[in-house]
Chains A and B, each alone.
Chain A
Amino acid sequence: MTEQTLQVEILRYRPETDQDPAFQTYTVPYRDDWVILDALNHIKDNIDRTLSYRWSCHMAVCGSCGMMINGEPKLSCHAFLRDYYPNKVRIEPLANFPIERDLVAVTDDFMEKLESVKPYVIPKQERAVDDGPHLQTPAQLNAFKQYTMCINCLLCYAACPQYGLTPNFVGPAALALAHRYNLDTRDAGREQRQEIAASNEGVWDCTFVGECSQVCPKSVDPAAAIQQTKIASTIDWYKALLNPWGKR
C-alpha cells in the first residue's frame, strides 16, 4: 500500500534573498491525528531545515503558532490535517502583520498597543503584603473571567479587516484586555485605560465585523468587550456633557 500524503503550500519569504514572498509546495505524510504544526515540524526535520515558524507548546496555550490556514487565522496546533485532506492546504503568516521571515509575523505593533492599555490591576491605593489578600467573590470573578483567557495569539488581529484597513486601530485583544481590567473589582485604572480605549483609535474604529470573536480559540469574545466599551464610553461622554463641572 502506498502511503497517504498531503500537499502543503507554504508562503516563503527569506528577507536576505527574496524580493517578494512566494509559495513553495511540500508533500507530507498524512496521519489523521496530525495537526498542521506536526506537518510543519515534519518538513523542518526531514525536508527543509530553512523553514521558519513560531511554536512552543503544541496545546493551544502559548499562542505562538497562529497562521493563516486556507485563508483563515488558526492555531496550527489546533487545526487537524483530517479537516483538509485530501485537498491541498495553503499556509501563510498571520494576515495584517508584516512578514519577518516565512511564517513568522512581526508583532511589535501589537506589543506596543497591549502595553498602552495597561493590562494589569491598578489598585486605588497601594496595598502592602500585610493588608492580606484582595478578596473577590466568584460572581465578581465571573464578570470578567472570559477575557482573562486571552493568550495573545493575534488570530483576532489577523481576522479583523478594520485593523488591516486602519493599522492605528488599537484592535481586539488589547481592547478586550482593557475591558477585562476595567471590570475587575480590585482595579481603579479605568480612567487611565480610557485614554487609549475611548480615543479615536480605540473602540470607535471597530465596525462590529465580529470575526475576532469567531476565530478566537479561547472564546474570549473581544467583539463583545469592544461593544460594551463603546456603550460605557458613550455614557461617559453624555455625563460629561450634562455635568461639565463633574469630576473627570
Chain B
Amino acid sequence: MAKSNKPIVWSLFAGGGMLSAFVTPVLIFITGLAVPLGLMSLDSLSYDRMLVLAQNPIAKIVLFAVIFLPLWHAAHRLLTTLHDLGLPKGRIAMTLCYGAAALGSIAAAVVLLRI
C-alpha cells in the first residue's frame, strides 16, 4: 500500500466536520446569541450548572470531543484554504495550523481535567 500519513489528519477533518455540522450551529446559537440576548435564561449557562456539567466524567469526554474534533477539522481546512489563497503548502504553514490545533487540544484536556 502507498505510504501516506494523510489519513490521520483527514479522518480528524472528516470526523470533526461531521460533528460540527450537527452540533456547532445550535451551540453557537445558545452560548453566543440566545443566552446573551436574553432569549434563553441566563441559568442555562450559570456557574453552578456548568460546574456540575464540567465535573461529570462523561460530560468531560463529550466536551473534549466537541472541542477537539472541530478544532482539527478547522486546522486542516485552514491549511488547504491558505493554499487555495496562494500560500505555499510548506512545512511552516503545516506546523502552524496543526500545531495550533494540538495546543488547543492540550489546553482543553488540561482545563477539563483540572475542573
A and B associate in one complex: yes
Residues of A within 8 A of B83 (CB): 165-166
- A87 CB-CB contact with B under 8 Å: no
Size bracket of the A interface: 20 to 34
User: If the complex has contacts A165-B83, A207-B84, are A194 and B10 also in contact, measured as CB distance less than 8 A?
Assistant: no
Residues of A within 8 A of B84 (CB): 161, 165, 207
Residues of A within 8 A of B11 (CB): 234, 237-238
- A195 CB-CB contact with B under 8 Å: yes
- Residues of chain A in range 147-179 having any CB-CB distance to chain B below 8 Å: 161, 165-166
Identify which of A166, A191, A204 contacts B10 (C-beta below 8 A): A204
Contact count A vs B, C-beta below 8 Å: 47
- A197 CB-CB contact with B under 8 Å: yes
Residues of B within 8 A of A27 (CB): none
| Interface size, chain B (Cβ < 8 Å) | 15
Interface residues of A: mostly helix, strand, loop or mixed? helix
Binary A-proximity of B20-49 (CB < 8 A = 1, otherwise 0):
000000000000000000000000000000
**What is the bound-complex CA distance between A166 and B80, given in angstroms?**
11
Residues of A within 8 A of B80 (CB): 207
What residues make up the interface of B, taking CB atoms closer than 8 Å to A? 1-8, 10-11, 14, 80, 83-84, 89
What residues make up the interface of A, taking CB atoms closer than 8 Å to B? 161, 165-166, 191, 194-200, 202, 204, 207, 230-231, 233-234, 236-238, 240, 248
